[in-house]
Structure 1
């Protein structure tokens, strides 16, 4: 008797989606640019990132080529993430850490884009992915309170802020979370103070160096603005 299809995306399929998003951000490629490079339609791509249906193996190869990496560079993080999910315990951030990271993302977004209200923009973006994020749940997320928000909801939020989904789903990802945290600090300092330094000029710095740069920007900014 032939084996029937397994239905919707399984845990590994979701890990592939996260790996695609993580690698896209690391390579500095926007979602629209990746869709164009891969030759997908927007509907085709978003149907898979929303978890309605999985990427095929052909899609994985196409995406890897569009990002300019070997297929294994895309699949190995997905395999590792899938293995971690099968291990006892969890490395997912607790509500307090998740709230801290979300507040950092909101601070950067507000510094870059004062309007419209962030909560409204986030919920509208999440709704475009077929998800529903209630205002009360968003407030609970920001304050570190318990919610019923799903991983797919958090993936949609991460996409809105253009960060890897793992930033909101994992306590730590070697080479990703620490650097991302530090870069967010630098970018927020740049946006808040208006200091004219290209963020990409510090991309090679370590997390500790990036945090020092962010502190120096905030310290020097009032003097610089006052001298104009």
Structure 2
């Protein structure tokens, strides 16, 4: 038997819905008119506006079309600051890693592993395990 999709609204989905709600307000249409223009029932729109269920990608595409934008524009504008912050955090993480690799490469003797410096390592490698 199949499983049912999880209807939890993630932080990203919440940001997208908040942006879509702001588009509805800017359009000058009532929520009911906006929902109808997008091809949604009134109830369908309000369930998502309350964050009880997430919008689908098809829903977002319909909203984008009604608002005269592409789906990519809708996502970029809705997630713009969140996506930029996440990207900056990843870049900082990579920079820390790159800095560490550069330090190790410039002075590898400072970062030796004890097992590599063990004078008995050859003898221990030949000793059979019990």
Asked whether the equivalents of residues 38 and 63 of structure 1 are also in contact (C-alpha less than 8 Å), the reply is yes
Q: Give the Cα–Cα distance (whole angstroms) in 2 for the partners of residues 48 and 80 of structure 1.
A: 21
Residues 60 and 26 of structure 1, relative CA distance in 2, 3 Å threshold = same
Asked whether the equivalents of residues 8 and 53 of structure 1 are also in contact (C-alpha less than 8 Å), the reply is yes
Could you say what the CA RMSD is over the residues aligned between the two structures, in angstroms? 2.8
Q: Corresponding residue for 1:130?
A: none
Q: Give the Cα–Cα distance (whole angstroms) in 2 for the partners of residues 23 and 73 of structure 1.
A: 13
Q: CA deviation at 1:84?
A: 6.5
Residues 7 and 32 of structure 1, relative CA distance in 2, 3 Å threshold = closer
Q: CA deviation at 1:7?
A: 4.2
Q: Which has the higher helix share?
A: 2
Q: Give the Cα–Cα distance (whole angstroms) in 2 for the partners of residues 68 and 47 of structure 1.
A: 24
Q: Give the Cα–Cα distance (whole angstroms) in 1 for the partners of residues 73 and 23 of structure 2.
A: 9
Asked whether the equivalents of residues 38 and 63 of structure 2 are also in contact (C-alpha less than 8 Å), the reply is yes
Residues 51 and 73 of structure 1, relative CA distance in 2, 3 Å threshold = same
Residues 31 and 4 of structure 1, relative CA distance in 2, 3 Å threshold = closer
Q: Does 1:47 align with 2:47?
A: yes
Q: Give the Cα–Cα distance (whole angstroms) in 1 for the partners of residues 84 and 29 of structure 2.
A: 27
Q: Corresponding residue for 2:116?
A: none
Q: CA deviation at 1:82?
A: 3.1
Asked whether the equivalents of residues 23 and 74 of structure 1 are also in contact (C-alpha less than 8 Å), the reply is no
Q: CA deviation at 1:64?
A: 1.2
Aligned structure 1 segments of 4 or more residues deviating by more than 6 angstroms: none
SS state at 2:55 partner: coil
Residues 48 and 77 of structure 1, relative CA distance in 2, 3 Å threshold = same
Q: Corresponding residue for 2:92?
A: none
Instruction: After superposition, give the CA deviation of every residue in 1:173-197 in whole Å (9 maximum; x if it has no partner).
Output: xxxxxxxxxxxxxxxxxxxxxxxxx
SS state at 1:72 partner: helix
Q: How does 1:101-120 map to 2 (within 5 A)?
A: none
Q: CA deviation at 1:5?
A: 4.5
Gaps of 5+ in 1: 89-228
Instruction: With the length of structure 1 as denominator, give the TM-score of the two structures.
Output: 0.33
Q: Corresponding residue for 1:17?
A: 17
Higher gyration radius (CA): 2
Q: Give the Cα–Cα distance (whole angstroms) in 2 for the partners of residues 21 and 8 of structure 1.
A: 18
Bigger RCO (CA 8 Å, 6+ sep): 2
Q: Corresponding residue for 1:56?
A: 56
Q: Corresponding residue for 1:83?
A: 83
